[in-house]
Structures are given as C-alpha cells and as structure tokens.
Structure 1
C-alpha cells in the first residue's frame, strides 16, 4: 500500500495527503479507527444486528430492529452491486475498509470503552477476531439513516387513528405547502408566503443558507449551515481533510464512511445539505396468515395495541429467549406465513437468527419479508370479530381473540433495498467536483435520505436542488401506512431540476426543512414550521452575515417566534384593557393568527394568584429570546412544560397512552408528552377534543409560578402538574431527578441556562449498573441558549426535562473566495478518547455558537511521523498499547471513587419525542 502522510492542526483535525485516491481512502479509514475506534465499531455492530454482543441487554431492541429491517443484508447487496455498476467506487470503499482494519489493530481496539465493558461483564471480547468486512462502511452509512425517515411517524399516526379516530391524525401532522418561509425553490425571493408556517409540528432538521456573491463581502458565494441531530458522544461528524493529486477537500465525514458526503469544500466548489422531510419509503400494513400452524412457536408477538383485541402470547412469532448455548432452539419449527396483496395471497420469506446477548441468554428471532419489504414491527393477531381487517378501530375494546392464524404487521419498502443501492457512488464524485453543476450531478447518485442541496463554486454559480430517491406517492398516500391488500408498489418519482440562485431574485437561498414553494419539491406531508427559515432570511436580509467570520450571529439567534402562539393564551380578552401587550418587537410582533387563541381572562382575574398574575405579565412583556441568562425564558419553559403535562394527561388523550405494540425501538416516537409539545396550540383549540384551554393554561401558570417562588426548574413544574392531575403515565422521576441532580445549585431566580444544559447521549449510559467514571469524561453539561424551534437549535423535551439532547452537531461556513477564510466546528472534538486533549476542546466554542478557522497551509500543520512511517498494519506496538489501556481501565473500575460521576453522560436518556428522530438525521439530513 502506498504510504500516506498525516498532519494535524491546532484542534487535532486529521489532514491526510497521499499519492492517489486509494492510498488516501486507506489512510482515512486508518486514522478514523485511531481517533474513533470505539464509535465506528459500535456502528458496525449496529449494522450487523450485534450490538447486544458488546453492551448486553441494552442493545437488544436495536438488534431486533436491525435484523427485521435487514440492514446488514441491504449493505451486502449494495456492496455487491458496486462491482458491476461502479467498480472504481467499490475499490475505493474496500481500500477504506482495509485502512479501518489496520487502524483497529494498531490503536482502535485499545479504546477504553472496550476494556470497561470487559471488566463489567467479567470477560474479554476479542475484537481482533472480528475484522471489518468489506461492506461494513455501507452498513454504517445505512445505520446513520435507518430511523431517519418518516416511517416511525406513520406508525405514530396509525396509533393516533386507532386511539382517537382518523380525524385526530391531522392534529399531529402539521403544515403543507402553505407553511413556507425561505425555501430555495424560489431562490432569493422575498420570503413572503401564503401561510405563517405551522408552529404545531415537532421540530426537526437543519439549517443551511446560500448567499450569492452580490450579497457577500468577498464578491463570491458563501454557504453555511448546521445539521441538527441527536447530541451523541462521540460526535456524529468528524472534521477531516483529504488531499491527493486529483483533489484536496475539507469537510465533515461520518466516522466509518469514506469521503465527506454531506458537507464539503474542494477549493473550487462546495456543498451542504438539509433534510427534505420527504416521504422517502413506503410503510405497508400487511395482512399475514400462517401457512401451517405447526406444533411449536418462536415466542411472543406484540401485545394488543389500540384497535387490537387481547392476544395470546403463544400465537404470534416474535423474539424468544433461548436458555443455554446459542442455537439451542434450532429444532423449533419455523412458522411460515403468506401475505395478501392486490393479486392475492403470496409467499413470505422467513429466516431465523440467534442474537447473542452479552451477560445473558441468546434470543432467537424469526424475521419475515414480503414482496413489498421486510416486516419491521411485531406481529399482532387479527381479531376474528373484525368484519374488515383493515378497520382496526372496529375491534377496539371488543371482539374475541383471533385464532392465531392471521396477523397484522408492517413492512417497509425503501429505495435503498429495492435498488440495492445506498448512494455511496456519489461520494467519490463529490471529492472531484469543480463546479456547482458537478456537485449537483454527483448527487444524482444519492439515495437516502432525500435532501435539499445547496452548492456553489468559485466562478460565482449557486444552485439549489432536491436529491435522493422517494416513491411517487401523492399527499393523501403519505398520511398513514398503505394497505398492502389494496395499494400497489410504485416507482420512484423524478426529482425536479436544480435552480440557480441569482441576484435578480434577491441572491439568498434558505433551507430549514420548511414546506417548499414549488409543488414539485413537496415530497412529504408534515413539515416543521417556517419560523427558522423566516428568521434566517430576516437576519441575512439585514446584512447580519456577509462572510464566514460573521455567520455567528445567525447561528446564535435564540428568538423563539412560536412562543408568541402560546403566549396568546395569556393575552387579555376584555379589549386588552387590563392586560399587557406583547413586547414591542416591531417586525417580530405576535403572528396575527396567534391572537385567535387568546382565551385566558384578564390579568386581574381573581382566579389567578398574585404570583401567577406577576408571571403572566412578565411573559407577555418578554422579547421571546431563549437566552441562557434569561430568567423569563426559564419561566416560559416552566409554564410550557406544565401545560404540556396537563394536556397530555387530559382524559380526552388517555387512549394515546395505551401500549403501541410495534416494538421497543419505536418508543421515542410514542412519548405522548413529546408529541403533545409539538402540537400544543392545535390540541388546545380542537373542538373535537373538548379541552378547556382556559383552565389548563391557568393551572399551568400557577404550577410555574409556584416553581418560580421556590426557584425550581421546568422539570419540577412538569412534575408538579403531573402530581396535581394524579398522573401515573410517563413518570418523569428518572429523567427529572437525574437532570436535577446534575444541575448546579439554583440562584434565587433560575435562568434558562441553569436547567437547559447539554445532555450528550453515550451508548454506554444505557448499560445497567455500568459506571462511566473510569473513562474520565470531562464535564460536558454546559448551559445553552436556544430551544427546539430557534435558529440555534438546542431541543429539549417540554414536559419531561429541560436538558438538551438534540442540537447542532456541526457548523460549517464555506467561503468560495478563499477556503482558508472558511470555518467549521463540532460539539466536542476530533478524538473519541476522553484522555485526548482533543476530546472536547471545541465544546466552549460550540456552546457559544462559535466555530474555529480552517487551516489548509501544510506548513502550518504538524506532521505525525509515526503514522507516515507505517505503510499499513504497524503491529509492533499493538499488544502493549492494548494491554496497558485495558489494565488502566480495570484498575479504575476497582476504584469507583477515582473520578467524579459525570451525570451529563450517565443520566438516563430523556424520553425523546418524535422530533428526536424526525430528521433531521441529518435526526441528516
């Protein structure tokens, strides 16, 4: 293998230089294993459905999903297809994988997390016996987007339809093409739209904007943005530079995947993406029946959900414990099924897999795949009383148990599996892009998820496009799962052509996941509100950002316009005589439509305590900025959380709390409080639900005022509301107590940043009884400004906790005039090892909505001679390094008091609302 050189900048970012693209790919894989060995091995095992073999029971729900959805098989097929369609791309991927194998042997396997788990389970897991297979990077890419699409939301809507009736589904869907605010389909236009946007949707997605050279300080284009995803530790993206005689690119890589697929700058061209919120895959409701009931069973199926009669555990195939050695139940009969399609009954393929669970018994799972796609949920017996099997509400609360021969389940049809293509052939083409048109052409190979693309080049061209593959479904067919007995499969739609961003139309393009202007770009159903897009455009129109150095005020903007809609509940209704108006905010006054729900009596109402009236007046006079040092922002969050709890616990919504039964992996989408938080104004005013918005808002205001008097946070306001309603649903004790324990002593009046703090999600936090203190994690729970629907995205879960678990996982600003004037940043650092000085050295900049400069002068970088001196494997220091690290970790485990408990990482993960998985993925793009 041709040697490559590694250089580092001040932040430890790897800058790689090699003689050819294959040597460079090998070097990227190798350095990724050095810096992120733990992270990429976890994602590799996720792709293979073997996470439980590493972390035990905590990984089982994911492994069941991975096997059911055939993640590894899809990656294998896509890798095999490259040999015929894109052989050079396959060779490039294989070179990267070879580099990963070498890097894991050299250093990656010595990551302290492996030794910590070995000590915890009392056994050593031999990583060297499980080298990366060639298709592994495609599996990692598949994992990054496996739950990134809209299909879990389709399951939630099905749940709503079964629990509350079909009409209630639209309460949780949100906006359509009228909710526009800054989409680049009409690039550079005024941003005026027919609708005000929909603040009732769960927040999701990312920000990106493009400025034509006529709007920048340099006279050439500027691209900038930030993807919003789960705040994972180590971080989702890895800063990297890849240079060889053919190209020289800086960008953000997915660790475990070669190249820089989402955000990159080649010197001559640059690009960035946001999620298009597209209906990117079809979810089918399948009717299944047993071909031969047989004499055995593979275990329990899903429990009855809304619309299902009670089920017998012995009739529906599902996961089953296998005591003793793996494969002990191989002799059990395989339950064969067939599915009803528009053409009649057809065979269903079945396969059996045994999932190894570290520290426990293996689990046997039978997976199924219809001609539409893999079954990705549990199976529920069809009640015999249902006259029409597709009318699930007909069976609610009545009927008899089915005879165990027919089932309801859901299959997922994705373009990636149908086409055996994960879009990886786009990535090496991007590295060679010299123009914006080159970038758009390269993304013609992209598959999943469907993204909105902004591209620009040094000649001044700026283009906007929609890229990826999605089934050609009309809007009505994107609302709920399709009926497999009636609805046929369809081809992918043809994506609209790219458009130019020109000075004549304003020279600005903004993508923030809002509903598009152009119907040809309307590929989804529920879009987040246009608030972020509108706000970014306002800031850009005001000249707040004309260079990469001045992008900071846009990233840092914490104005929460949707707060006005909720605060309208507090507006006086008696001619506004006794109340206070919204703060004088000029162009940012409360949306006119928001005042339509001003239902709360005058401020002098005797129904409010003195402290509640004071709080009400304060909220009405507030600017709406979710600043970290703002006591009023904290007070608003307390009131909002208490209101969410009271609405979620209302009797009218009680059916939503029933078990969904689709599988544990989908639980975050079924957090009723999370879903209510995203649809609060609409739920309060829907006549069908009959909620008393006045009483609920008044009671929540009292809850928040009481917490204000006692200097408690929004978590306590939510807990108080739950106690007052006698709720036993979705107890907040775990998340609340952990968050409270990790919060510094509150001042007499808490600010937003006192409770709204970063909550990084580490996979090991889910392992029962595992103490992370031996890892030596630094404090990471920094105070944050912003909220879920501010430009500065720092999402929490109102009604559950103020802690932020989803936020900007990178920031990027590409200057086409001079790449060295570009900037970038990540939440933590480049290295995944907590002992590294570059583990979290960018945290403070990130917390301040800042970035760091990009250095591309090789003379200003530090060369790593150890990396360069080794062509490939470098066995000589492997054993000693691994052994020494393992021994350190084991000794630390024996001294549990050797390091303080880092609650920011070890606290139980907050209950994540649907927004947590509605990409963002990024929740990418």
Structure 2
C-alpha cells in the first residue's frame, strides 16, 4: 500500500523561496517572492491535495480513462477522441498570451516538482492504476478546464429533446419548454428585444432520426460519469447602503452534481503582483470563478447559454472516407486495443454514430469555434482594482458563458454576462438539426462584448443571479434557463434587508422556503378531492399546516415531495417522455433525463399548463390523477418509513451521496466512497438539494461551495465546501468541512497576514 498523502503532508527542499502556511482546515496560504513562484506553489499544493483528481480529469480529456478502468471508460474515451479535445486544447494553448502561458508553465512546474518528490508516496487511488501519473504539461491545464465544461451547455438538452421530437413531435417539445419569457429576468428592461427564445414552434426536422438516436444510446449513456449537471447556482451582491459596514457584500453558492473529491479547491496566493484568495479548479492556475484580491471580489453562476449544436449527418453507404478522417487506437485495460475512426464534416467533428451506417451525429461548440482565449482573463482578474477593471479583464472569456457578479471596496457592484455567445438559426435552439450548410456556423461572429447584458449599481441596492432568464432584451441566450423560484426568493430576502452582515448571507445560503410549493399545493388542494386511502386526509391536513420550508426535520416536506414526484411522473408518462424509447434510459443517462423531465413537469405545474398533457386535459382526469398521487404517497411512505407520518422527516429520505468516480468504476476501490448524510432543501430552494424521479428523494445535486466576501473586512469573509480541501481519503482534511457544510455554516476565509498567522498549524518552505 502506498503511503497516504494529503494536505500538508510533505516537506520539500526550499528551492522557490515560497512559504506555505496550512490553516486548521488544511487550506494553503502561499507567500511567494514572484507571481511565477506563486503559480508554481499553487500547482504544488493542488497536486498535494488533489493529484488523483487531476489525473482523472486529464485522462478523460485525453481519452485515456479506459487504461485504468477498462470497458467502463471506453465509450467515454471514444467520445473525447472523436471530439479531438486533446488537439483542441493544444491549439488553444498555443494561441494564448505569453503572460498566460507563463502562468501555466509555472503551475505545471509545481505539479511536476510534487510528482518527483512523491513518486513513492502517491494516494491510494494509484494502487488501482497500472502506471503512475505522467509529467504534467502546461496545455493540460486548458484540457482539464475544457473537460469540466463541455457538458454544462445545451448538448444534453438538445439530444434529449431530439428524442422527444423524433417520437412525439413539436407539440410535446413546446410543452416541456414552457413560457420562458414569463420568468423574472436578471436584468429587467435591458436593451432592445432582438427576437424571442422560441420564435414559434420548433420545426420537425427529425422525422427519420429516431433510428440514429436509438443506435447511439449505449455510447451516449456511457458518458454519464463525465457529465456535470447544469442549472442550479446562486449569487448575489448587496450594496453598502444595505450593509452594516457601508461596504458591499458578495455571496453565493455554485451547484453541481456532488462528487468526491469536490470540484473546487480552496487556496490563497500572495506575491508582489497580487494577493488573491479563492476557489480554483485542480489543474488550472488562478481563480476563474470565485475569489477576491485586495480591492475587488468576483463570483459567477452558469449563464445557461445555448453553446452547442448537434447535426444529423448523412453519408453515402459504402463510400470511403479520406482526409480529415483518421484512425486512433484505444487501450482498454483487460481487453487490449480497439481501432476507431475519427473525423469531421464541415459542421464539426462526428462524435456519435457510425458513418458506415449512413448516418451519424456531428457537433459544434463555442469552446472550439475559434481560439478559446478564456485563460487570457485569469491574470487580469488577479490584478484588477475595481469592478470596471474586473469586467474589462474578462473580455477574452469564452467558456462557459457566466453571470458574473463583482464588487469593489470603493462601493460598486456590477453584473456582466461573460463568454462567447453565437447567435444561430431559431430552428437550432430546440433539437439536433440536419447536417446541411443552412445550419453550419461558417461566417458567424460572436456577439460583441459590449452588447452582452450588464447592470451596475442598481437603485434597489442589490443584484441576484440564479441561472434564470438573463434579460428582457439583447442577444438570444437560451431556451434552457432555470425557473425563477431561487432568484425571486433571494430577491425577496434582500429587498427587506438593511444593516446586513456575513451572518445574514449565511442565512440566505440556508434558506429552504420553496416558492414552487404553494403553486403545487394549490393544485393538490383543488384536485385531490377523491382520495380513498385512510391516511390521505391526514397527509392533506399536514400540508395545510405546513410552512413550505424543506427542513430536515419536516415530515410535511417529505409528504409534499413524494406527492410532487408522483404528479411529475403522471405528467411525463402521459407526455411520453419517460420511456426508454424516448431517451430516459439512453441519452442522457436515466437520472439526468429524469431530472430534466422533472424540471419540465414542474414548470407545467407552476404555469397550470396541464391542458397540454394528454389524459390530464380536463378537471375530472386531474381529480382522479391528483387523488391517486396522494393515495399512492400514503401507501409508499407507510411501507418505506412506518405507520407514523410524523416520523417521516425529510432528512430520512433526502440523503446526499457523493460518489468517488474510481470507486464507482472499480469494485476494488469501493472503500473510497465517503459517507452518506441527510440534508435539507430541494431543487427549488436556495439551499439546493436537487432530486430526480429516477432516484427518488436522494439528493443528486447541491452546493459544491458556499462563500461570502466582506468588502469592508476581508477577514470577516467565509467559505465552505461539502467535504474538505483534500481529495485524499483519510488525510484528515478530506471530510473536516462536511459538518459545517451540512449545518450551512461558513469557516473563516483568513486573508490578512495576521489572520493567516493566527490560524496556521503547519508552515513549510518549498
């Protein structure tokens, strides 16, 4: 067994003149003589905490995961090889500015120093690898970053809607999208309306594509492990007129699928050029998403931009494929090698299907449409001195499109959409489209940075983003925004707030009041009038007395959630979007398809759009269905949790699993999974705990970090992640933030030299 490594686990020769202070949570505070030394130290620290996670992301990006886990990774490798992610990342890296390359080179040097020093003391995961990690190259930083974002766009949703379109037609697709323009906008009244999200019903372009989509289900389902869910993050900025200090507060919490190790890595870098603290991606220098320097803070939520098109390509049967087609070899552990054909059409690389069958799917994505200059924003962000400078710093940003919030010590707060937005044909917004010149991206230009929505220093004194609709005008962004519930609840809380402190920001983080629940309960009260189960009326009485808060100790929250789940199932079954032939068990993977179908059904419930659902399009049918859902809930919960409804607390059934990807792929690594805990919230509350009908009430989506930046006193800021800074099981810092996360508390984000010294428990030189 390799010696277990982890946060603060190694003394290293003092070659860089860098001092690393680890605080009581294992978080590194780096004091470096230069920026290059700081990035080298960041690479060293990231490797010390997360080398296996970095290796996992790198192997997937290069299409080499199957070398470790065998057939479990083969189809995923095939996708990324056919996409050509490795070559795209190298090309993007070569086009970066010299200062940016220097960052990546220094970071890679730090990773490689750590690898050299710890060749005989790697984390336990490497006991399951045939070979140790290879040298980290600077362009790998770009590759792992791109890997983490390709599935956060519209690829998944368009393929899912494509299955529905092919089988059930445009009306079903329109019904599940709903009335996006009715939702609250982040920036009300912005600019001129160019065109609506849908501009009419989607054209039925896929009448004969069902066979192709069916044939690709095995390939597409295998990508489940690589997917990173979209659509559930919060951020908000409060101006000084509403705070106790007179300076702004900036807070939020990104939501993704919860995994171990956690996606974000806490770190603090100080040198002559900047003093910045934040949460980075292991394998990537700087703090792309969340952080602050001495003058300005920043945070983001996913902008939900329509960033991907999928094309149904036709090939002549038996025709030979020349350039640019090529053969690549996959090495599959325990199986040997497999040859695969890779190539492109004028639309983009073919990623799914077999051209020899006459039809396949190609893809175009903003992350490979022209050079990806995202990394050129990383250095300017670190040295920005105001919100205006921070916004200008992100001008090169491409991937992903974000809702950026920023605040500075001079008192300004601002919102800006950052990233590459490419407007295309309205028909492309809904589903895959034919592989013809009409839908190609040739000649299209990104929306100019100046035209992307922005809002600074609003009179109301706060800004809020929660993946909801961006603006009333301006460029087209997406059909696929999250609903307005979280945005509206945060706005409601901030509007009543004066004299606010970081503690008030934590109370918003922990808020579990559902603005969706009253709308669903109105339907239940109206239609569930013919219940036959003896417990059903007791359950309805519990809901009548409920405060619509999804607390862990609430039994009514459990009753509500299960009834809602059964209503969702009734809708998606009648719409025909639940069966395997329509994608639920094919693409995307069952849980993800179920999550998207549930979101569509909740929107229909909230919009009272049940007339579009066959079998629920009249009051009698709705009474029968709603009453049956309540009766079925009574029977199900009695069987699952016992005879006493008051004991059916939400925390008993709403439990957070955080799977370790290697443990999920290899039975021998199963002990790497962290424990499972009950938690509050649901998919509609500020405190996220998203579920999917496919997996019942298990929390599959949640806050992968929480933060609150105090622009008056940086040392009063706080943060927390679901597990800990270390990805090494048993290191001591792998789970030491878990209880604070479960309790919705923040740990100190020490920043000043005095505050760092006060919490330091380990000091070393590298």
TM-score range normalised by the length of the shorter chain: 0.7 to 0.9
Task: Answer yes or no: is 1:456 the counterpart of 2:407.
Answer: yes
> 2:614 is matched with which residue: 664, 689, 702?
689
Paired residues in the alignment total 700
C-alpha spacing 1:350/1:497, structure 2 compared with 1 (3 Å)? closer
Q: Give 1:569's aligned residue.
A: 523
Q: Give 1:625's aligned residue.
A: 549
Considering only CA atoms, is the larger Rg found in Structure 1 or Structure 2? 1
- Alpha-carbon separation, structure 1, partners of 2:604 and 2:283: 42
Q: Give 2:494's aligned residue.
A: 540
Q: Which runs of 5+ in 1 are unaligned?
A: 119-124, 188-201, 294-334, 338-347, 382-403, 573-598, 714-744, 871-925
CA contact (8 A) 1:447 1:468 kept: yes
CA contact (8 A) 2:577 2:583 kept: no
**What is the 5 A alignment of 1:837-916?**
837-858=732-753, 859-862=757-760, 864=762, 866=764, 868=765, 870=766
CA contact (8 A) 1:648 1:673 kept: no
Q: Give 1:667's aligned residue.
A: 589
Shift of 1:611: 1.2
**What is the 5 A alignment of 1:239-254?**
239-254=266-281
C-alpha spacing 1:748/1:453, structure 2 compared with 1 (3 Å)? closer
Q: Which runs of 5+ in 2 are unaligned?
A: 1-14, 191-228
- Alpha-carbon separation, structure 1, partners of 2:164 and 2:499: 43
Q: Provide the secondary structure at the position in 2 that maps to 1:772.
A: helix
Shift of 1:544: 7.5
Q: Give 1:487's aligned residue.
A: 439
Task: Answer yes or no: is 1:93 the counterpart of 2:104.
Answer: yes
Per-residue CA deviations over 1:709-736 (Å, capped at 9, x if unaligned) read 34539xxxxxxxxxxxxxxxxxxxxxxx
Task: Answer yes or no: is 1:794 the counterpart of 2:689.
Answer: yes
CA contact (8 A) 1:164 1:656 kept: no
> 1:709 is matched with which residue: 635, 638, 646?
638
C-alpha spacing 1:660/1:758, structure 2 compared with 1 (3 Å)? closer
CA contact (8 A) 1:47 1:139 kept: yes
Task: Answer yes or no: is 1:376 the counterpart of 2:304.
Answer: no
- Alpha-carbon separation, structure 2, partners of 1:12 and 1:262: 21
**What is the 5 A alignment of 1:295-694?**
335-336=320-321, 349-379=324-354, 404=357, 406-407=358-359, 409-473=360-424, 475-485=426-436, 486-489=438-441, 490-495=444-449, 496=451, 499-502=454-457, 505-520=459-474, 522-543=476-497, 546-572=500-526, 599-601=527-529, 605=530, 607-650=531-574, 653=576, 656-658=579-581, 660=583, 666-668=588-590, 671-672=593-594, 675-676=597-598, 678-680=600-602, 682=604, 685-687=610-612, 689-691=614-616, 692-694=621-623
Per-residue CA deviations over 1:17-45 (Å, capped at 9, x if unaligned) read 11111111111101111111111110111
- Alpha-carbon separation, structure 1, partners of 2:316 and 2:251: 52
- Alpha-carbon separation, structure 2, partners of 1:210 and 1:112: 39
- Alpha-carbon separation, structure 1, partners of 2:524 and 2:583: 35
- Alpha-carbon separation, structure 1, partners of 2:474 and 2:502: 32
C-alpha spacing 1:765/1:689, structure 2 compared with 1 (3 Å)? farther
Please give the root-mean-square deviation of Cα atoms over the aligned residues, in Å. 2.7
- Alpha-carbon separation, structure 1, partners of 2:763 and 2:508: 40
- Alpha-carbon separation, structure 2, partners of 1:238 and 1:103: 17
Task: Answer yes or no: is 1:166 the counterpart of 2:170.
Answer: yes
Per-residue CA deviations over 1:264-304 (Å, capped at 9, x if unaligned) read 110201111111111123333323335x54xxxxxxxxxxx
C-alpha spacing 1:812/1:109, structure 2 compared with 1 (3 Å)? farther
- Alpha-carbon separation, structure 1, partners of 2:431 and 2:603: 23
> 1:821 is matched with which residue: 706, 712, 716?
716
Q: Provide the secondary structure at the position in 1 that maps to 2:68.
A: helix
C-alpha spacing 1:89/1:172, structure 2 compared with 1 (3 Å)? same
Shift of 1:665: 6.9
Q: Provide the secondary structure at the position in 2 that maps to 1:376.
A: strand
CA contact (8 A) 2:391 2:416 kept: yes
Normalising by structure 2, what TM-score? Answer: 0.86
Shift of 1:668: 4.5
Shift of 1:416: 2.5
Per-residue CA deviations over 1:134-182 (Å, capped at 9, x if unaligned) read 211111101110111012111111111111111111122234232115x
Shift of 1:109: 7.2
C-alpha spacing 1:673/1:519, structure 2 compared with 1 (3 Å)? closer
Per-residue CA deviations over 1:371-401 (Å, capped at 9, x if unaligned) read 22112222478xxxxxxxxxxxxxxxxxxxx
Shift of 1:104: 2.4
Shift of 1:475: 4.7
Q: Provide the secondary structure at the position in 1 that maps to 2:701.
A: strand
- Alpha-carbon separation, structure 2, partners of 1:550 and 1:362: 57
C-alpha spacing 1:805/1:672, structure 2 compared with 1 (3 Å)? closer
Per-residue CA deviations over 1:801-837 (Å, capped at 9, x if unaligned) read 2111210001111111111111111111011111222
Per-residue CA deviations over 1:427-474 (Å, capped at 9, x if unaligned) read 111111111111101111110111111111111111111100021236
- Alpha-carbon separation, structure 1, partners of 2:269 and 2:383: 11
C-alpha spacing 1:826/1:512, structure 2 compared with 1 (3 Å)? same
Q: Give 2:209's aligned residue.
A: none
Shift of 1:797: 1.4
C-alpha spacing 1:545/1:795, structure 2 compared with 1 (3 Å)? farther
